[in-house]
Amino acid sequence: MVFAANVDRVLERFLKQHCPRPDLIRAAILREPICRVDDYNPDHMICRRGDRVSGCWLVLSGQVEVRAHDQSVTFRGEGEMFGEQGLLHVLAGKNGARTADVKAIGPVRLFFIDAAFQERLTDPEKTIWVLTLADVVNMKLAQATQGRSELRISVAEQEHLLRRFSDDDALGLVKVAAAGQTPRIQPRKAIVFFSDIANFSVWSTGKDSGEVASHLHRLCSLQIDLIRKAGGQIDKLMGDGVMAYWFIDTAERERVEPAAVIRCATTIAEEVGRYVTDNGLDIGIRIGLHAGDVAFGDFGAEQRIAVTVLGATVNTAARYEQAKSPDLGQVRVSPVLRELAVEAGIAPETFRGPVKANVKHGVELDVYSC
C-alpha cells in the first residue's frame, strides 16, 4: 500500500506521539490493504451510538464532533484518533459497541483502520498496537481531568457571580430554577425589612446625575453590607430603597434573629445619619420592620427567575416604612416584632410608642420606633 503525502505526514506524526515503535506499526499498516482513506461531507454521521465496532479513525483533515445524549462532548481534529476504545474492548474479548455519535463538521478526510487489522498482527506488533491505543486513551483521560478541573473553576466563578445577585436560601432556589426545574413555593416565617431614603427625589432634582448615583450607591452599599453582616438576605433594590428578610422558622432563629435585626436596623439608621451629616445632604432614612408568614419561592416566568418572599407580611412591612407621623423615629417596628425582640433580649425601653399612624387604603397601624 502506498499513501499520499498528507496521509503519510499525519500518520507519522500520530505514531511518533503515541506509539513506542512507530516503524513497526507503520510497516504493519502498509502490509495490510484493509485500511483506507474516506472523505465525508459536512454533517455526515460517521458512526452512531450503539453501532457495532468495525474500526477506528485518524483525522487527516477537517474536524469531527463527538456527541452523547444530544449534547456536544468534544471535537477531534487533524492528527487525533477516535473510536479507539471500541478496538480495545474487542481486543479484550468484549462486545464492542459505539458509546457516542460522531459527525463531520465541514468536509472531513479520515484514515480508517479496520478492526480486522489488529487480528492480523504478530504478537509483538499486537503488543505495540495495544500500547499505542492505550496511550491515546490515557491522553484523552488527562484532557478530561483537566476539563473537569476547569469546569469546577467555572462553576465556582458562576456561583460567585450568582452570589452577587442572590443570598443563601434564594441562591439555592436560583440554582434549581437555572437547572430547568421548578422549585416548590415554601411557606416560611420571616422578618421583613424595607427602607427608603426620605426626601431623596426632592433632593436629587437638578443635581448632577453622577453625584446622585455616587451617593445612592454608597447609601445602598452601606445597608447591604450591614444586613448581610447581620445574617439577612437581600431581596431587591427598589430605586433608593432596599428590601431584605431574615427567616425565623426554627426555634433557634426566632430566639436570635429578632434582636439581630433590631440592632442592624438601628445601626443602619446611625450610619446613614452620619453619612448624610458628613456630606451635607438634606435626606434621611425610614426603615419598616414586621414579622410573620410569607411564601418563598420563584415567582418568575419561564425565561425569568424571580426568587422572593410574598404575602401580607411583606405588604405590611412596607406600610410600616411608609407610615407618616411626626412622633415616629427612623426605625418603625410592628408590635409583633417588638414582642419577639423583647423575648430575644432587647430591652423594652428601646422602643417608643406605640403611635397610631395611617397608611395606604385608610389602614391604621400601631407603630413602635427605636
**Separation in Å, CA 333 to CA 182, 202, 320, 323, 352:** 35, 26, 7, 11, 10
Q: Are strands 364-369 and 331-333 parallel, antiparallel or unpaired?
A: antiparallel
User: Binning pLDDT at 50, 70 and 90, where does residue 288 land?
Assistant: very high
When pLDDT is averaged across residues 13-20 and rounded to a whole number, the result is: 94
When pLDDT is averaged across residues 108-137 and rounded to a whole number, the result is: 90
**pLDDT tops 80 at residue 12:** yes
**pLDDT tops 70 at residue 99:** yes
Say what the pLDDT of residue 75 is: 87
CATH of domain 5-153: 2.60.120.10
Say what the pLDDT of residue 166 is: 59
CATH 3.30.70.1230 residue ranges in the chain?
A: 183-369
In tens, the pLDDT along 28-80 reads 988 877 888 999 988 899 999 888 888 899 999 989 998 887 788 888 999 99
User: Binning pLDDT at 50, 70 and 90, where does residue 250 land?
Assistant: confident
Chain mean pLDDT for the chain: 86
Say what the pLDDT of residue 81 is: 92
DSSP structural state of residue 350: G
In tens, the pLDDT along 20-31 reads 999 999 999 888
Residues 6+ apart with CB under 8 A from 187: 293, 294, 295, 296
When pLDDT is averaged across residues 239-266 and rounded to a whole number, the result is: 91
Sign of CA dihedral 219, 225, 228, 233: positive
In tens, the pLDDT along 188-213 reads 999 999 999 988 888 888 888 888 89
Say what the pLDDT of residue 30 is: 85
The architecture in CATH of the region 183-369 reads: 2-Layer Sandwich (3.30)
More confident residue, 223 or 300: 223
CATH 2.60.120.10 residue ranges in the chain?
A: 5-153
Cell numbers at 78, concatenated = 487533524
When pLDDT is averaged across residues 352-361 and rounded to a whole number, the result is: 84
Gap between the Cα atoms of 82 and 98, Å rounded: 11
